[in-house]
Amino acid sequence: MPDGGNLTVLDLVKKYVSLKTGIRHNTEVNYKFAINLIAKEEFGRRRIDKVKLSDAKEWLIKLQKDGRGYSTIRTVRGVVRPVFQMALEDDLIRRTPFEFQLATVVVNDSVTREAITRKQERKFLEFVKNDKHFRRYYDGIYILFHTGLRVSEFVGLTVADLDFENRKIQIDHQLQRSRDMEYIIEDTKTKSGTRLVPMTDDVYDCFQRILSKRKKPKKEPVNSGYTGFLYLDKNEMPMVALHWEKYFQHICEKYSKIYREQMPKVTPHVCRHTFCSNMAKSGMNPKTLQYIMGHSDISVTLNTYTHLGFEDVQGEMERVYGQ
């Protein structure tokens, strides 16, 4: 009869993580976060063979009552579930207590990152373009709105990734930065993330301006063989996602302060979602859009089409029946 080997939940999680090698930076961050959280919880000191289904549910409910968001709980549960599956396969427990739908236990209070309208996009870009401080980021922001690139892909771009002759962007890596300020080059999020994205005329012009304004550093930063990053910070190191997320935050705050009008929350990911939504509304073939976005699953792309409004559907029907 399984006795759990006297292992606690925390012991088991640490053992599971120790067996993971060659993992992505973001995955490693999630593992460390989960371990630190579980170490503070009474649940982490429970013997694994004593944890029942109701105990697992009660713990997740407690996390939410303690102020943990749905996405955080989902991340932790995403670590703990395979941990208990490993214990089951090792005959340490008779059944895993985490095989249930998360949404049936805790409330999904996460905020959906919606696309902004074309009018809002134009207003946002116009504000950036005319602002004395933020205009220096206009070309980069325009590119994010008109290519669908993930921000980690965008900050990882180098001069060598831009094929101006054939007007295409090579996406085959992304740039991350760890908490201890280590710069990390990783493969794209999925195999489908490796792709070629066409440059429109406007995007072509933006890249040309970025390169023409780019100051040559005393020493070009090199990371895993990649050099010639498009944007460098004041320390002449590549800008990362956090830089751009802060720029977007400050732009929204400044806009709202000046015009006393609340600008919808715009982030680099909202740019990506907006691009996807705009392409869907324009009637782009879903498989084509899936390729451009680098989605590994067509259902992720198709979910964008479910965000279309009545006017979009009405226009499409008129187009079809008017043929």
Q: Determine which one of 46, 173, 195, 272 is catalytic.
A: 272
Is 317's pLDDT higher than 90?
A: no
pLDDT reported for residue 269: 93
CB atoms within 10 A of CB 273: 20
Is it the case that residue 3 has pLDDT exceeding 80? no
pLDDT digits (tens, 9 = 90+) for 280-290: 888 888 999 99
Closest C-alpha among 289, 310, 307 to residue 298: 289
Mean pLDDT (whole number) for 126-147: 97
Is the pLDDT confidence value at 305 over 70? Answer: no
Q: Of the residues 46, 146, 150, 173, which is catalytic?
A: 150
> Of the listed 14, 81, 305, 307, which one is catalytic?
305
Examine the pLDDT at 322 and tell me if it is beyond 80.
no
Assess whether 47 carries a catalytic annotation.
no
Q: What is the pLDDT of residues 256-271, one digit of tens each?
A: 999 888 888 899 999 9
Concerning whether 138 is annotated as a catalytic residue, the answer is no
| Separation in Å, CA 162 to CA 50, 70, 91, 196 | 57, 39, 53, 10
User: Is 94 a residue of the active site?
Assistant: no
Residue 22 has pLDDT above 70, yes or no: yes
**Percentage of the chain modeled with pLDDT above 70:** 92
H or E segment and range at residue 170 = strand 168-171
Q: Over the stretch 188-239, which tens digit does the pLDDT of each residue have?
A: 887 888 999 999 999 999 999 999 999 899 999 999 999 999 999 999 999 9
The pLDDT assigned to 157 comes to 97
pLDDT, tens digit (0-9, with 9 covering 90-100), for 67-83: 988 889 999 999 999 99
As a whole number of angstroms, the distance between CA 127 and CA 252 comes to 10
pLDDT of residue 23: 84
pLDDT at site 111:
56
Model pLDDT, residue 227: 96
Percent of the chain with pLDDT over 90: 70
Whether residue 24 lies in the annotated active site: no
* DSSP-assigned letters across all residues of 133-149: TGGGGHHHHHHHHHH--
pLDDT value at 4 more than 70: no
212 burial via Cβ count (<10 Å: 0-12, 13-18, 19+): exposed
pTM: 0.75
Q: For 172-307, where are the E strands, in sequence order?
A: 174-177, 183-186, 195-198, 222-223, 226-227
Q: Say which residue, 114 or 177, is predicted with more confidence.
A: 177
Neighbours of 5 (CB within 10 A): 16
150 is catalytic: yes
| Residue 46 is a catalytic residue | no
Q: Which one of 15, 47, 189, 254 is the catalytic residue?
A: 189
Q: What is the pLDDT of residue 45?
A: 95
Cβ proximity of 240 and 260 under 8 Å = no
Cα 230 from Cα 207, distance rounded (Å): 9
Does residue 54 register a pLDDT over 80? Answer: yes
List 24, 168, 269, 307, catalytic entry: 269
pLDDT over 80 (residue 300): no
pLDDT, greater one: 298 or 17: 17
pLDDT for the residue 189 = 81
Report the pLDDT value the prediction gives residue 240, as an integer from 0 to 100.
Answer: 96
Residue 162 pLDDT: 98
- Whether pLDDT at 2 is above 70: no
Number of CB atoms found within 10 A of residue 46's CB: 18
Neighbours of 146 (CB within 10 A): 19
In angstroms, the CA 274 to CA 110 distance is 19
Share the mean pLDDT of the chain.
90
Q: Tell me what pLDDT residue 223 has.
A: 92
Distance between CA atoms of 222 and 165, rounded to whole angstroms? 25
Return the sign of the alpha-carbon dihedral for residues 300, 151, 114, 126.
negative
